[in-house]
Amino acid sequence: MTKAEAIEKIRKAKMGHKKWVSYAKAMHMGINVDKDAVPMLETDCDFGKWYYGEGQIFSDLESFQAIEAPHSLLHQTYMQLYKARRKPVKTGIFISKNKAQNEKQKKLDNLMNQLLQVSQILTDNLKELETDIKNMSDFELERLM
């Protein structure tokens, strides 16, 4: 694999991540999204398939290792968001339906903001990995394979 091919694969993985986030945003806005479009497990999304598959050739790089924790947290946050969106609004003697809906929306918004922050960290880590690969010699890249 050449340096250009390696960078192209990282960019494709990054695009897969951005697509996943766009589906998560749509779901957050109340748009029906096919459940399979936004996999909950980090090994099932397009990015995760690359990361845990052919991306493993970069596993010795610190910048590659820095990706796993935010990627996992991203999926955990999405799972919380998904479950919270589906959970019915609870009202009671002291909580009006309007107040309960506002509280639910606030929780959903907080989870979505957290998801976007983690997504940015993941994107930044991917840029760092890309930079590390660009700065490698052909010999160093060949040793990884």
| pLDDT tens track, the chain, 145 positions | 788 888 898 898 888 889 889 988 988 888 887 777 676 788 888 888 889 998 999 999 999 999 999 999 999 998 898 888 877 777 666 667 777 788 888 998 999 999 999 999 999 999 999 999 999 887 777 777 7
Number of domains in the chain: 1
pTM over 0.85: no
Q: Where are the alpha helices (DSSP H) in the chain?
A: 3-28, 46-51, 62-86, 97-134, 138-144
- pLDDT, position 53: 92
- Give the range of the structural domain holding residue 36, as residue numbers without chain letter: 3-144
- Radius of gyration (C-alpha) of the chain in whole angstroms: 19
Q: How far is CA 40 from CA 46, 71, 78, 102, 127, in A?
A: 12, 11, 7, 26, 24
